Amino acid sequence: MSQSREAEVIAGLVAKARAAQTIADGYDQAGADRLVAAAAWAIMEPVRNRALAELAVRDTGLGNVPDKIQKNHRKTLGLIRDLSGAKSVGVIADDAALGVTEIARPAGVVGAITPSTNPGATPANMIINAMKGRNAIILAPSPKGYSTAALLLSYVHEEFDRIGAPRDLVQLLPAPVNKALTNELLQQVDLVVATGSQANIKAAYSSGTPAFGVGAGNVSVIVHRSADLAAAAERIVRSKTFDNATSCSSENSVVIEAAVYQPMFAALAAQGCVLLSGDEKAQLQAALFPAGKLSGDLTAKTAGDIALAAGLARAANARVLMVEESGVGPEFPFSGEKLSPVLTVYRADGFDAAAAQVAAIYSHQGAGHSVGLHAAPEAADALALQLGLTLPVARVIVNQAHCIATGGSFDNGLPFSLSMGCGTWGGNSFSENLGYRHFLNITRIARPIAPRNASADALLSAYLAETGRNGAAFSLKP
């Protein structure tokens, strides 16, 4: 397809999206919420959910069907819970004291890049957030995830037909999706939201279009000497094995305080983790990182399948493969993201050393994303605050299964999302979980209020006294 042809194709999609979005712009809050419910039911209806999960695993080769079913349902249910009652149409806030009224307006036409790791749940999440703001959205899925996105789109359109909503509010790039077509989409839409490879994120941010993109995952979790080791091991393994570690929020390294190093290994072994010897680690490295790069063939496979591929028959029944490490950086590939049930273990002499080890890991990969902490409740608050004040992370997850908690959970207060902003640490323009407000423009009406005059003397007197200039005078010349 020539460049002019690609531009023409995208222009056609965008034109249809704008026409549909003009209709949606006239919807009231109930109409926007009806769009949300329709898009949610498109993936949550049990028969459809299973069909999407089965197709995703078949065509991407990533993850497993039961966990994808759970993810599709749970992430969507949590999102619509968060959106229930939220104002996204018309006046959404009115501060009489400040004389400021806020009005929600659509962003317009959204271009959404979605990954192969979550080819159903992530597009659904983006569609629902876009619909909450009465936007139109055009999906640019990964090639492997295209079939799942296409099936999801058919379900969304079926639901839109039931409520009389325009189908063109949600569209999909034509197959085969390629970089040139996707890049042209980024040029013509009003807003870009991108989840997936860092190459896609870079393309989004360099497109010249306002963009929200996420940072690289490479989550580390610290096990403090006060932790309930059995509970910590269960949470870590539950997170690390969920959907075969397709999530960017899955633990990649666990940093264990020396005082509980061996007991924590025993707790992890009780959960089905197998620690590899030095020779076995070398075998795994050769299989998992051929030519120094993560193998796509072993991404998001079970630990047993990875073990057999590496010639490690004794670990064929492992739930998680563990390797000990002390170094960080490209020459230590296990210090990076593995997207598989492989866990790197570091030993630290105390909590400060553990935090420093995490900082070193994030200086290599994963800055901005999140860190996990397992500690006794009476110690956890102070330790979590220390991590939040010093590490380059947007989230500190305390005593939870990390990949389940980071994107929102029914037992924590984070909003449900499959796209986690990593702030400037991760090269992102935002540091919270992507949500419906990122899909809105806000218009503010400002009215006259009683003057709130300021006194330079009152505001600067402490500073001037501190710097020895108590007698400084202020004057305003006409």
Owner of token pair 């499959």? 418
Tens digit of each residue's pLDDT (9 = 90 or more) over 79-137: 999 999 999 999 999 999 999 999 999 999 999 999 999 999 999 999 999 999 999 99
Tens digit of each residue's pLDDT (9 = 90 or more) over 20-44: 999 999 999 999 999 999 999 999 9
Superfamily of domain 3-214+434-441: Aldehyde Dehydrogenase; Chain A, domain 1 (3.40.605.10)
Element (H, E) at 120: none
- Residue 341 token pair: 């049930």
**Burial letters 84-98, b for 16+ CB under 10 A, else e:** eebebbeebeeeeee
Q: Measure the CA–CA gap between 126 and 132, rounded to whole angstroms.
A: 10
What is residue 320's three-state secondary structure? strand
Least confident of 105-109, 271-275, 328-332, 458-462: 458-462
Question: What's this model's pTM, rounded to 2 decimal places?
Answer: 0.94
Tens digit of each residue's pLDDT (9 = 90 or more) over 382-392: 999 999 999 99
In contact, 221 and 215? CB cutoff 8 Å: no
What is residue 314's three-state secondary structure? helix
8-state DSSP, 174: P
DSSP-assigned letters across all residues of 65-83: HHHHHHHHHHHHHHHHHHH
Average the pLDDT over 208-213 and give the result: 93
HSE, CB side, 13 Å, CA atoms: give it for residue 225.
Answer: 11
pLDDT tops 80 at residue 243: yes
Cis ω on the peptide bond leading into residue 115 (within 30° of 0)? no
In contact, 341 and 247? CB cutoff 8 Å: no
Q: Does residue 273 have an active-site annotation?
A: no
Query: Looking at residue 478, what is its pLDDT?
Result: 46
DSSP-assigned letters across all residues of 387-432: HHHHSSBS-EEESS-HHHHTT--TTSSSPP-S-B--TGGGT-S--S
- The burial class, CB within 10 Å (0-12 / 13-18 / 19+), for 346 is buried
Q: Where are the domains of the chain?
A: 3-214+434-441, 219-414
Q: Measure the CA–CA gap between 306 and 245, rounded to whole angstroms.
A: 13
pLDDT tops 80 at residue 470: no
Average the pLDDT over 444-471 and give the result: 89
Q: Measure the CA–CA gap between 73 and 57, rounded to whole angstroms.
A: 16
Nearest-CA neighbor of 169 among 121, 129, 205? 129
Query: Looking at residue 198, what is its pLDDT?
Result: 83
Least confident of 103-112, 182-191, 198-207, 426-435: 198-207
Report residue 148's pLDDT band, with 50, 70 and 90 as the boundaries.
Answer: very high
Mean model confidence pLDDT for the chain: 95
Query: Looking at residue 185, what is its pLDDT?
Result: 97
- The burial class, CB within 10 Å (0-12 / 13-18 / 19+), for 29 is middle
Tens digit of each residue's pLDDT (9 = 90 or more) over 342-384: 999 999 999 999 999 999 999 999 999 999 999 999 999 999 9
CATH number of 219-414: 3.40.309.10
Q: Measure the CA–CA gap between 125 and 149, rounded to whole angstroms.
A: 12
